[in-house]
Amino acid sequence: MNRRVYCATLGCDKNLVDSEALLGRFAGQGIRAVDDPMAADIWVLNSCGFIDAARADSAETLRDLCAHKGDRLLVVCGCWSQEHGDMIRESFPEVDVVAGVGQFDSVVAACAEGETPPPDNAPVAAPAFPLAGPPIVDDPMKVDYTGMLDRPLLTPPHVAFVKVGEGCNCSCTFCRIPLIRGKQRSRSTTEIVQEVRGLVDRGVAEIQLVSQNTSDFGRDTGENLLDLVQALDGIDGLRRMRLLYLYSGLVSVDDLRRILDLPTVTPYLDLPVQHASPRLLKAMRRPGASRTSAQFFKALREDRPDLVLRSTALLGFPGEEDEDVSILADFLAEVEFDHLGTYHYSPESGTPSALLPDRVPPEVILDREALIMDLQAEISLGRQVERLGKGFDVVVDRIAGPTAEDPSGAAELLESFDDASWLDDRERDDLRGVMQSGAPVAIGRSHHFGYDLDGVVIMPAGDLRPGQWLEAEFRAVTSFDCWAFPRRGNDPQKGPQ
């Protein structure tokens, strides 16, 4: 029987890598991954349980899957089920397999019973677990995250997330990640280099390094981030490397400068700060908070004015006052991050901050978030306007049709340029012509945008194709996205000249 599996992934990019590893283990048993859920006879929900909103999203998605599962097998795994497996088993009797984090082989074994044995060189599944049995959960420190080297990609074939470690050694008072995923466990440089070489051989040209705390890579094994990045930089065929989830208090300006000097490292750093109020950072127990300042970020840009900085802010931590938000706003105005994400504080069971008084009302958090994001929109637009008329290397992620029926959202994206800043009026007319014609557009990214994280560069598609690299000139910008035209002299095989 030719069985197929569909996997819905919620939460972060690290969870996406886990989904890919799980699908790789299914493939080892002859069960092929498909993009269309209706074509699959096994459904997997890889859930997120980071905060209340994530758990609610996981529950809502699972309810929808239960309502439409029919005679399919339904699996729930990931962070939510790691901690709430018994509740899921009781509340969702339609679910066939409940598993925690990293239980890839056990999940496959539970679903693949009775399958034709795989070829001799395929991974061997663990002993089978009964369907509708108890949750398959283990101590996160005992979980072996297998399958990273032979995983299919859920990203476009030219870009991949690479997970360099699991767990976190930090003790931030608001975060449950160490309770869900365990302490820091770095992969070896040798294994990561082997993985990336394999990905490049399959056509990947861009990687995004991820973990709960990438700055801490190797601290538990005697290796370090700089040596890892230098090893990856030497891989032929790798064009762009992006570092995510760095902690500014745990890595020095000098080390980051050395990393940024490497040819394949794109001038883009993701450094979540969570806040700027010294009082709140102390209450959060943010690592190195006392050594983090606007000057740290400004020093990074002294020699690299093109450096793109991304960060995250947590709003509504217990005891947060208007003065703290003003400190955060002043900090953002001084640093000028290119991209900023925000999320709301959630009191998490087992975390010290859950016991703190002075909770901030939800409506106040929303008002503060609106203030911060309005400010950030102005900052981002100012950074974007500086790029008008300049050319940048862009990789095409996909081709889309800008029609109302197009599920990719290209039409909505093009309409957002009604309020854009333009190089001149002629460019505005060119975009209107594309919209009226219904011609396809190419959606890609310059170094300013992380895959599935930030905005995009959108261009007339012409004869462009996914995975192609070219030089494009920015003709219009919003706070989030860019409208661009390919520059002449681009060779589809060689990229920009």
Give pLDDT tens digits for 150-166: 889 999 999 999 999 99
Give pLDDT tens digits for 114-128: 444 444 444 444 334
What length is written for the chain? Answer: 497
* Parallel/antiparallel/unpaired status of strands 32-33 and 4-9: parallel
For the record, the structure tokens of 192 come out as 């990561």
Question: Tens place of pLDDT for every residue, the chain, 497 residues?
Answer: 689 999 999 999 999 999 999 999 999 889 999 999 999 999 999 999 888 889 999 999 999 999 999 999 999 999 999 989 899 999 999 999 999 888 888 899 888 864 444 444 444 443 344 455 667 777 777 767 677 888 899 999 999 999 999 999 888 999 988 888 889 999 999 999 999 999 999 999 999 999 999 999 999 999 999 999 999 998 999 999 999 999 987 888 999 999 999 999 999 999 999 999 999 999 999 987 666 689 999 999 998 988 999 999 999 999 999 999 999 999 999 999 999 999 999 999 889 999 999 999 999 999 999 999 999 999 999 999 999 999 999 999 999 876 655 666 788 888 889 889 998 888 888 888 887 787 899 999 999 999 999 999 999 999 999 999 999 999 999 999 999 999 876 654 444 43
Beta strands in 364-481 (DSSP E): 391-400, 421-422, 441-445, 457-460, 469-477
Q: Which CATH number fits domain 1-147: 3.20.20.140, 3.40.50.12160, 1.10.260.40, 2.60.40.1930?
A: 3.40.50.12160
CATH 3.40.50.12160 segments of the chain: 1-147
Helix (H) / strand (E) containing 400: strand 391-400
Dist. CA 193–CA 408, nearest whole Å: 34
pTM given for the model: 0.90
Dist. CA 313–CA 281, nearest whole Å: 11
Instruction: Give the closest residue to 443 by CA, choosing from 472, 418, 404.
Output: 472
Write the DSSP symbol of residue 353: G
